[in-house]
Each structure stands twice: as C-alpha cells, then as structure tokens.
Chain A
Amino acid sequence: MTLSTEPITINMGPQHPSTHGVFRMRVTFDGEVIIDMEPVFGYLHRGIEKLAEHKTYIQDIPFTDRLDYLASMSSNFAYVLAVEKLAGIEVPERAEYIRVIMAELMRIASHLMGVGFFLNDMGAFMTPVLYMFREREKILDLFEMVCGQRLTYNYMRFGGVSHDIPGEFIPALKRFIDEMPGFIDEYDQLLAENEIVLARAKGVGILPADKAINASVAGPVLRGSGVKWDLRKADPYSIYDRFDFDIPTGTNGDNYDRYRVKIEEMRQSVCIIEQAMEQLPQGEVRTKVPLQLKPPKGEAYCHIEGPKGELGFYLVSDGSAKPYRFKVRAPALINLTVLRDMIVGWKLADAIITFGSIDICMGEVDR
C-alpha cells in the first residue's frame, strides 16, 4: 500500500529561541527533509537609512550603534572612516591605535557571542554561552571604563575618538590579554573535539568557495569556505598594515570550519591588541572638527572587516550638514543569501545550526 504524501510548509519565527533575533523562515518539508525555505525579513526595520538623512552627520553616529548592536564599535568605526574619507579629515596616531584596540576587542566580544550561541543551538544548553560570557563581561567592563556604555558605545568621532582612555584601562586590558589565550584553550578543551559538535557540525551546511564569492558572502563565512580574503589585509584601512597577524581559513565550508575560523580569529585579535598596546603613542585623541560638519559635495564608500563580514557605508553628500544618502552595506543580510542553498536537503535541526553558524544580527539585516 503506497502512502500519499505532500509537502508541508511550517513557519519558524519570528519569535523562537533559536532565531537569533526576529528572523522568520517559512520552511517547506517533505517529511523531515527541507525542500524549500523562504526567509522573511523586516521585523526590526526601523528606517535608519531614511532617518539618517534628517539628522546631521554627528547625530547619525548613535544610529550606527544600533545597526549591529553586538558590534557597535565596528559600525561606528566604518561610519567615521567613511565620513573622514568624504570630508578629508586626518586622525591623530593615538586615536588610530585606540580605534584598532576597540575594534579588535569588539571582534572578540562578537565572536564569543556568536560561537556561544552556535553551541547553545546544538544543545550544549547555556554552558558554553556562560563560559564565553564570562570573558565578554570583562570586555564590556573595559568598554564601560572608556565610554560609560556596555552595548551602544557612540565612542568614535570624526577625527578620532570622543574621550581618551582612562589611566586604569591599560593595566586592565593587559590583564585581560594575558589571560585570554588560556581561556580560548579552555573552550577548545571541552568542545573542539567533542563528539556531538563533530557529528552535528562537520559536513553540515557546506558552502563551496565559488558559490560564496558569487553570493557576496563575507567574513568568517567566506573564510570558512577557504577563501583567504580579509579586508584588513586586502584593503587595509586605518593602521592595520602595521600589525602582524594571520588570516585563519577553513577547508570545507561547513559549520565546523566557520566555528573554528571564529575561534582562531579571536586568537589573532588578541595578538593584534598586544601589538597595538606596545606601540600606543601619547598625544591627542581627536582632531577638531566643526559640530555641523559640511563635507564637500561627493560620495565615499568605505568598508571595514567587521566581525560579521564586510561592513560598508556609502555616503553621498550634497554639501549640507545632513547626508543626502546614507547606505549601509550590511554583511548579515548579504550572508543570508546563501542560507537557503545551505539547508535544502537537510533536516530542521541542521538548519538551525547552519543558521547559527552564519552568525547574524537582525539590527543590521533589517536596519
């Protein structure tokens, strides 16, 4: 007796413990196997690009905090670089080093969160998350020392940073940097060769390199597929060309590779911060720039290697104090282009983990 079957479409999200923000997927199943997936965005759309056209350039810096709220420093950084390129503003040396230290600390914090929740989705209920949050708390304490904020920093300004780092920052940072490699080893000790992690992440959610490039994927997702492309090396911005660091890449482009790339990137970030701390000069931290900055007419596209990928700002100026066009190149949205192809043919549990391995932040996707 043959059983007649038909595909069923199930809605996942926008509220779901595993959807990393308000992300909705309409998944079509044939039994347990996924045959189609349609992502639905827009639950966190706040119209930031439109609002930014109504505020002055400096008033737009807090908007950038709220794009990828787990990596605010990076979004600030990309935006101020774009405005500095547009307006031709110089940045003092000390400010450049402070910015790099902040950006790399932010990368570590973002990856800790990303990896922690990736493992959480796999069923290691909260333990890896809380181990990693223990370190993330130290990073957030460092940020609080500098700018008074734990999540949305609003720290970078055109021509530098808003305040100089206080006296107690460098000793605290040194303590953190000295103990961090030990903690990363601790995470690896329990998880890197863990049977469940290997079974659920190795060979699952494979993204071939040519497909990744064609889909404009960036960041750890691209490097996990074996493409050695990191904007800090390929198109160095700020003072990244003065530091010596590696770019970890994966081989197969599966979830496990993306996870390993993030862990290795954390080690490399520790290395960069060490070098930046040694080379940190004395001096000014901010070039004097008018509050109502009026950049000359023109446009500028500036991209940085954010924790999630290529974070870019395309600004068009019409000579007035407000941007004419404020466009954010959001890595999380573009990385999601490949999600459908990565999960078709797999089961739902694999889909959740693959989605977690891409590590997105809905604030950036929806803007």
Chain B
Amino acid sequence: MTKQLSGPEVAQQIGDQFPDAVTGSDETAVFVRSEALLGVARFIKESLNLDYLNSITAVDYIDHFELVYHLTSLENNHGIILKTKCHDRENPIVPSVVSLWQGADFQEREIYDLMGISFEGHPNMKRIFLWDGFQGHPLRKDFHLDVPGGGKASL
C-alpha cells in the first residue's frame, strides 16, 4: 500500500530547510508559498526520493487558486501532497516544475488554458485544448455556461 506521509512531519522537514516556505499542513498535505515552490519541490524530490509526479490540479476557490501536486516515490512506495495558493486573480503566476518532472509539461499547459494560471519557466506556455484566439479561462468559477463566451444569461 502506498504510504501517505504525514503532512506535519514533511512540513517540519521542509521548514528546517526553508524557514518561511511552509504556510500550513494537514494530515496528508503540505502548503507552501508559491514563490518557494520550486526550491521546496527540488528539496523534497531529493530528500524523500519523490521521483514520480502523479498529477497537478488547479482548483478555483474564488478568493484564491489552489494548486495540488500529488507526488509519489516508486522505490520507497510513499507519497505526499504538496499544495500552494495563488491569490492574484488578474495575472496569476506560479513557478513551473517542468525542470524537475517532465510529466508536468502538458498538465501545466492545461491549467494555463483552462484556469489561466501561468507557469514561469515553462518552455511552451500556450493553450493546449482551446484554440489560440479563445478569450477567457473556462474552468474558472466566473466563466458561466449560459451564453457562448462565458457570460451569464440576462433576463
């Protein structure tokens, strides 16, 4: 069974290396500051042998975006969830982890396309599913499905 590492323990390990990076933790996840994301990810990739990135998800919580990274170590068969919040709604930018895990390539492009979060350092930051001229980011909560283009239907 893949062992889910304890959030507070991993938060402790990260906190020892990066004093300001951790903003919180719960049972299975560690929250870090988005500016420190790349450094923390590199650290836990090496120290916990997390060589496999299962998935990256972006969730729109209206006042902030949350990025969820599910990471696993194939050799040790353990995993952890790394989360980061992004409070900028106009132009959210988060560091890209493509340099650590190539598997982030298409997933980050998908998040840019559908949620509008840009990833700094990604070699090919452009839309992946929607066509180039598309306006808006459909998975955001303020993009409505009432009328084409994302607006709300008026009475």
Given A41-B128, A50-B145, A337-B106, A216 and B52 touching (CB < 8 A)? yes
Q: In chain B, what residue has the closest Cβ to A337?
A: B105
A310 touches B54 (CB 8 A): yes
In this complex, how many residues of chain A approach chain B with their Cβ under 8 Å: the count is 37
Among B53, B55, B102, B131, contact of A42 (Cβ-Cβ < 8 Å): B131
Q: How far is the CB of A47 from chain B (nearest CB, A)?
A: 6
Q: Flag whether B139 is at the interface (Cβ < 8 A).
A: yes
Q: In chain B, what residue has the closest Cβ to A316?
A: B59
**Residues in B whose Cβ lies below 8 Å from that of A215:** 101-103, 105
A334 touches B107 (CB 8 A): yes
Q: How far is the CB of A92 from chain B (nearest CB, A)?
A: 22
A312 touches B54 (CB 8 A): yes
Q: Flag whether A236 is at the interface (Cβ < 8 A).
A: yes
B57 touches A325 (CB 8 A): yes
A217 touches B54 (CB 8 A): no
A41 touches B103 (CB 8 A): no
Q: How far is the CB of A314 from chain B (nearest CB, A)?
A: 5
Q: How far is the CB of B127 from chain A (nearest CB, A)?
A: 8
Given A235-B2, A314-B68, A334-B107, A49 and B55 touching (CB < 8 A)? no
State in angstroms the CA–CA spacing of A160 and B118 once bound together: 41
Q: Flag whether A329 is at the interface (Cβ < 8 A).
A: yes
State in angstroms the CA–CA spacing of A49 and B68 once bound together: 16
Q: Give 16 pairs: A residue, B residue, CB < 8 Å, sorted on A.
A: A41-B129, A42-B128, A50-B139, A50-B143, A213-B74, A215-B102, A216-B102, A216-B103, A301-B55, A303-B54, A310-B54, A324-B59, A325-B59, A333-B110, A337-B102, A367-B129
Nearest 3 A/B pairs, CB to CB: A216-B103, A42-B129, A235-B2
Apart from the given pairs A49-B139, A234-B77, A314-B55, 16 other A-B contacts in the complex at a CB distance below 8 Å: A45-B130, A49-B114, A50-B138, A213-B51, A214-B101, A215-B103, A216-B53, A216-B54, A234-B2, A301-B55, A325-B60, A327-B55, A329-B54, A329-B55, A333-B106, A338-B102
